[in-house]
């Protein structure tokens, strides 16, 4: 029961019970001094003509100011989760997929629990495992491994448990007939539901693995993977089993919620994939939402143009500074060259259009997307600069978490006196050694319709 109400402006507490009522809280907002200050500031911003019309947002300065704010005031690490900073916060893609999956697993908990209990039963003792092996031989299975147990709090281990258990369905059914203590056997309909769940979780598992990669760009892969998940859910929602339908609808609702929040961060990087570009985003959104796709496409177009204009402005400023230095040095013999540069800059506005109209790279051929942009940077200098920044962003926090986990293995009780520079050296060396080994053993990573060579990048330096 609500006992108190707190003013979000001045933090003053007020009773808020059935006896006291709540009208006094509304009256307080009229006289709250802190609220009046905030309202006055907003009104001034909206009407102040003294604000410099040439002012432009500088992301670098904003980042430095925000970092200084957090350090000087010793703010918590979850500061960016506060409502006022949601615009700066992009959800971890792996975390989003995890939330969508959890809704589905909750709806199918009884089926999953029966298979989990069955796996734990046959693995609980040597005698039960021998009896299970006898059932495997009796039904003629040739599986080398046994069903693997899972960690209930980790959905991907639940998926691996279901995947490893389904081939042993006949053995579990035979065990039910011969072992009176085995009381967890799933029914035929539950096995079918488990098969459907496994198929669905497989798509999430593949997507999570791809977007959590550490040795290749992942930002442009997010849209493909979440869209593949969406298409599989659309197939499963037509199931004749009402339980499956209810589960998938729950997942679709959660999927749509997070797509609404992050469609820009998933759509924009695809434009910089020369195999798909904007045409692929337009095709998929139109196919999925029909006339409703317009609101997404308009925002994607607008964001892309604003982004391009910002980078073009920086390019112009940089070029202008160079021109001023030349004039000061008295270099008057390069007029033709200056004219050429100005003409080249005048075509910058068409660079995006030329890129989008150029033929797509064959999507079934191998492509190193970083190398492609490196090669084409003379042709598309501004877009290459944008691609460099966008493709450097990881859509998952898994690589960063792995880096901190790795630091915990380096700084042990026996190595607690290492200097920061030594720790950095050890971490970077390990990353480079492992990258070299991976490149020899696995030179490519699976990508849509083909394979993409891994473009290995050195570890990030920790400042």
Which range of residues forms the domain containing residue 428? 398-453
426 shares a domain with 413: yes
Q: Tens digits of per-residue pLDDT, 193-241?
A: 899 889 888 989 998 888 888 778 888 898 998 899 999 888 888 888 8
106 shares a domain with 233: yes
Residue 191: pLDDT above 90? yes
pLDDT given for residue 421 in this prediction: 83
The whole-angstrom separation of Cα 101 and Cα 206 is: 13
pLDDT given for residue 341 in this prediction: 62
406 shares a domain with 374: no
CA 78 and chain centroid, separation = 18
152 shares a domain with 276: no
Would residue 353 count as lying in a domain? yes
173 shares a domain with 256: yes
Residue 23: pLDDT above 60? yes
356 shares a domain with 241: no
Would residue 382 count as lying in a domain? yes
111 shares a domain with 7: no
Would residue 329 count as lying in a domain? no
220 shares a domain with 209: yes
Least confident of 161-170, 181-190, 426-435: 426-435
Residue 58: pLDDT above 60? yes
Would residue 462 count as lying in a domain? no
Contact 415/407 with Cβ under 8 angstroms? no
Least confident of 22-26, 286-290, 304-308, 445-449: 445-449
281 shares a domain with 191: no
Rounded to the nearest 10 degrees, how much is the dihedral formed by the CA atoms of 338, 342, 347, 348? 100
237 shares a domain with 223: yes
The whole-angstrom separation of Cα 161 and Cα 146 is: 10
Would residue 82 count as lying in a domain? no
Query: Helix and strand tally (H, E) in the chain?
Result: 19, 4
Would residue 128 count as lying in a domain? yes
Contact 255/100 with Cβ under 8 angstroms? yes
428 shares a domain with 359: no
Task: Quickly state the pLDDT bin for 119 (edges 50, 70, 90).
Answer: very high
Q: Tens digits of per-residue pLDDT, 266-279?
A: 899 999 999 999 99
* Count of the separate structural domains present in the chain: 4
The whole-angstrom separation of Cα 12 and Cα 25 is: 10
Q: Is 204 helix (H, G, I), strand (E, B) or coil?
A: helix
Q: Which of 356, 374, 396 is the last residue of a domain?
A: 396
Residue 84: pLDDT above 80? no
Would residue 83 count as lying in a domain? no
Would residue 61 count as lying in a domain? no
CA distances from residue 246 to 155, 176, 198, 234, 240 in whole angstroms, order as listed: 19, 29, 16, 12, 11
171 shares a domain with 247: yes
Residue 114: pLDDT above 90? yes
């Amino acid at each position: 029961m609500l006992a108190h109400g707190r003013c979000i402006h001045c933090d003053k507490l007020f009773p808020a019970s059935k006896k006291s009522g709540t009208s006094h809280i509304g009256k307080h907002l009229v006289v709250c001094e802190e609220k009046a200050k905030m309202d006055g500031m907003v009104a001034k911003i909206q009407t102040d003509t003294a604000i410099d019309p040439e002012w432009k947002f500088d992301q670098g300065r904003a980042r430095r100011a925000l970092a200084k704010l957090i350090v000087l005031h010793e703010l918590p690490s979850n500061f960016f989760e506060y409502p006022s900073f949601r615009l700066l916060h992009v959800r971890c893609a792996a975390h989003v997929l995890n939330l969508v999956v959890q809704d589905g697993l909750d709806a199918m908990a009884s089926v999953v629990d029966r298979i989990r209990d069955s796996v734990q039963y046959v693995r609980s003792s040597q005698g039960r495992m021998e009896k299970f092996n006898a059932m495997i031989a009796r039904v003629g299975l040739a599986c080398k491994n046994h069903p693997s147990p899972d960690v209930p709090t980790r959905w991907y281990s639940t998926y691996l448990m279901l995947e490893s258990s389904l081939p042993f369905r006949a053995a579990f059914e035979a065990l039910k007939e011969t072992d009176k203590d085995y009381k967890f056997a799933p029914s035929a309909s539950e096995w079918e539901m488990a098969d459907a769940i496994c198929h669905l979780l497989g798509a999430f598992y593949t997507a999570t693995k791809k977007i959590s990669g550490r040795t290749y760009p992942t930002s442009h892969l997010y849209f493909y993977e979440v869209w593949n998940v969406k298409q599989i859910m659309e197939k499963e929602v037509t199931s004749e089993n009402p339980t499956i339908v209810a589960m998938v609808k729950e997942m679709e609702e959660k999927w749509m919620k997070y797509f609404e929040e992050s469609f820009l961060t998933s759509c924009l990087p695809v434009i910089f994939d020369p195999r798909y570009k904007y045409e692929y985003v337009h095709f998929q959104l139109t196919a999925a939402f029909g006339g409703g796709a317009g609101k997404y496409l308009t925002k994607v177009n607008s964001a892309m143009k604003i982004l391009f204009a910002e980078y073009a402005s920086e390019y112009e400023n940089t070029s202008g500074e160079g021109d001023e230095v030349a004039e000061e040095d008295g270099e008057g013999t390069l007029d033709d060259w200056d004219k050429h540069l100005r003409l080249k800059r005048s075509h910058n506005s068409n660079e995006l259009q030329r890129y989008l109209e150029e033929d797509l790279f064959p999507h079934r051929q191998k492509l190193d997307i970083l190398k492609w942009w490196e090669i084409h940077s003379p042709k598309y200098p501004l877009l290459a600069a944008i691609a460099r920044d966008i493709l450097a962003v990881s859509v998952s926090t898994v690589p960063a978490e792995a880096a901190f986990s790795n630091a915990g293995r380096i700084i042990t009780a026996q190595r607690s006196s290492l200097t920061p520079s030594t720790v950095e050296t050890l971490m970077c060396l390990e990353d480079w050694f492992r990258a070299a080994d991976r490149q020899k053993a696995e030179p490519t990573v699976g990508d849509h319709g083909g394979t993409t060579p891994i473009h290995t990048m050195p570890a990030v330096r920790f400042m």
